[in-house]
Amino acid sequence: MGIKERKEKHKEDLRQRILDAAKELFLKDGYDATSIRKIAEKIEFSPTTIYLYYKDKADIMYALHQEGFKLLSGQFLVLQHVHEPFERLKAMGRVYMNFALNNPDFYELMFIMKEPIEFVKAHCQGEEWEEGEQAFSSLTMTVEHCKAAGYFTKFDTTTFALNIWSLMHGLCGLKLQGHLDHMASTKVELFEGGDLMEVTFAGFVKMLEGLK
């Protein structure tokens, strides 16, 4: 029964090719410009064929959304080798920041846009999600370790982690949206201190150190 398997594989192959084409378009031109028709053209199939492999556009975008989380999780994983917890926390901030800067479209898809998470709510009932939760638990664990090392002792771990995530997410959002650059260009005195995102992050680290 090798023939059935080969067909299965071919089918899985095409599903992957669709995703690859979508990814290429997405990373080049962003969400809106990634149309079903353009994906179809790239893989040289008719547009409707795509609907045999993915439920709809949101389904494709959700698949990319997952890829993004794998990418970020992988980058976080490396940091487990930084033993000093506060150093690791700082490094996580850097990684998160750089991920947003280097993969702005992924970042948008993962943390800013509504579509993919609404797809989760609608079609992936309850469980799943793994990647995202894993990334957040990396953070809470690091905060926990920091507490053991004498940092943030007065604070609840989860609440503190959420504060850190909020700040980093907000910073990335303001940067990607252009608000930070806009402020740097109008408020001249801000421009002197170098990149506003970098300066703000440095300020945040200083703030965290102040909570030892």
Partner DNA sequence: TTAGGAATATTAACAGTGTTAACTATATTT
Partner DNA sequence: AAATATAGTTAACACTGTTAATATTCCTAA
What H or E segment, with its residue span, contains residue 140?
Answer: helix 131-148
Which residues in 14-33 contact DNA (CB under 7 A)?
A: 14
Look at residues 201, 146, 150 and name the one whose alpha carbon lies nearest to residue 175. Answer: 201
Site string for its own copies, 72-111 (x = CB under 8 A): ---------------------------------------x
Is the CB of residue 85 less than 8 Å from the CB of residue 145?
Answer: yes
138 binds, among its own copies, DNA, none (CB under 5 to 8 A by kind): none
45 binds DNA (CB under 7 A): yes
How far apart are the C-alpha atoms of 125 and 51, rounded to whole Å? 21
Query: What torsion, rounded to 10 degrees, do the Cα atoms 7, 16, 69, 85 define?
Result: 70
55 binds its own copies (CB under 8 A): no
Residue closer to its own copies (CB basis): 45 or 173: 173
The first and second tokens of residue 15, run together, are: 């599903």
- CA 79, chain centre distance (Å): 16
**Min dist. Cβ of residue 164 to its own copies (A):** 9
Count of positions on this chain that bind its own copies (CB under 8 A)? 49
Which residues in 162-201 contact its own copies (CB under 8 A)?
A: 162-163, 165-171, 173-174, 177-180, 182-183, 186-187, 189-190, 196, 199-200
Task: Tell me which DSSP letter residue 112 carries.
Answer: I
Is the CB of residue 206 less than 8 Å from the CB of residue 132?
Answer: no
Which residues in 124-143 contact its own copies (CB under 8 A)?
A: 126, 129, 133, 136
Site string for DNA, 50-79 (x = CB under 7 A): -xx---xxx---------------------
**Stretch in the footprint of its own copies (CB under 8 A) among 3-11, 42-50, 91-99, 158-166:** 158-166
The residues, any chain, with a CB within 8 Å of residue 110's CB and separated by 6 or more, are 65, 68, 69, 72, 116, 132
Binding site for DNA (CB under 7 A): 3-4, 7, 11, 14, 34-38, 45-49, 51-52, 56-58
